[in-house]
Amino acid sequence: MRRILVAGNWKLNGSLAANAELLDGIIAGASADAPVDLLVCPPYPYLAGIADKLEGTGIAVGAQNVSQQASGAFTGEVAASMLVESGCTHVLVGHSERRSLYGESSKTVAEKFEAAQAAKLIPVLCIGETLEEREAGRTEAVVSEQLDAVIEQVGVQALADSILAYEPVWAIGTGMTATPEQAQDVHKFIRERIAGLDASVAEGLRILYGGSVKGSNAAGLFAMADIDGGLIGGASLKADDFLAIANAAS
């Protein structure tokens, strides 16, 4: 049985004051025995402070990006080992905003995945198609290419220590959520593709859905057989909204 994970991707949002208010609200409202794991992914400068604050709460901390390099002359980059020292257990890799706005190729994303695991971080690999690709009937081809690049880099077994997030680009920040059936179709496709290589890895792997998830649509999505939680953008920035999604998982 896969446990539901509700993860908040704060993107480029937050301040010391706003973060404190948000986290106080989440800590106060999160029930320790709910059958759901929680993860927050704030911007880099806040990670260490937030990891301290969340110690003992059971809420995990992740970064939104990581360098594929371990150290050296790479100005502006942050290594996986540094994220570990900052209290992170998870890191997002391959978010569509990194792919489209910062030119990250599937090969680069695969290298980041590998660097994260080398430092014992759990990578949350994000994959998903654009509206144009969906309309051209290329959804399965696109997610396969993004997934296969990682499998080629690290092998299918490495997926056992990772999390996947299917985020259709057309659903991100648009209010246009995929229907539970649309999302389930792709999640099932992804799981079956992995099962073709290793059935037990596929069975244990958590595949989150991301793209305009909110309290009102989360329960329908999480009820689907192959949807194991959510990667939440906008609705992770208000404690009540984030908790409503977490509660939908119970």
Q: Which residues bind ligand 13P (CB under 6 A)?
A: 9, 95, 167, 172-173, 210-213, 231-235
Q: Which one, 42 or 210, has the nearer CB to ligand 13P? A: 210
Q: Which one, 180 or 233, has the nearer CB to ligand 13P? A: 233
| Least distance CB 29 / ligand 13P (angstroms) | 19
CA 94 to CA 91: how far, in whole Å?
A: 10
Q: Which one, 156 or 228, has the nearer CB to ligand 13P? A: 228
* Residue that the structure tokens 């990891």 belong to: 51
Residue 26: both structure tokens together: 């989440």
| Amino acid symbol at 106 | S
DSSP states along 160-172: GG-EEEE--GGGT
Is 95 tagged catalytic?
yes
| Cβ 226 vs Cβ 187: under 8 Å | yes
Closest CA to 113 of 86, 94, 141, 85: 94
- Nearest-CB residue for ligand 13P: 233
Is 167 tagged catalytic?
yes
Query: What is the SS3 string spanning 169-238?
Result: HHHCCCCCCCCHHHHHHHHHHHHHHHHCCCHHHHHHCEEEEECCCCHHHHHHHHCCCCCCEEEECHHHCC
Q: Which one, 95 or 112, has the nearer CB to ligand 13P? A: 95
Q: Which one, 87 or 233, has the nearer CB to ligand 13P? A: 233
CA 139 to CA 204: how far, in whole Å?
A: 23
Q: Residue 155 gets which letter from DSSP? A: -
| Least distance CB 185 / ligand 13P (angstroms) | 19
CA 250 to CA 248: how far, in whole Å?
A: 5
Q: Which one, 190 or 231, has the nearer CB to ligand 13P? A: 231
| Least distance CB 90 / ligand 13P (angstroms) | 13
| Least distance CB 225 / ligand 13P (angstroms) | 22
Where does 30-138 have alpha helices with state H? 47-54, 80-85, 96-101, 106-118, 131-135
Residue among 95, 104, 111, 133 flagged as catalytic: 95
| Least distance CB 144 / ligand 13P (angstroms) | 20
| Least distance CB 177 / ligand 13P (angstroms) | 8
CA 109 to CA 234: how far, in whole Å?
A: 23
Helix (H) or strand (E) holding 88: none
Residue among 111, 129, 167, 187 flagged as catalytic: 167
| Catalytic annotation, residues | 95, 167
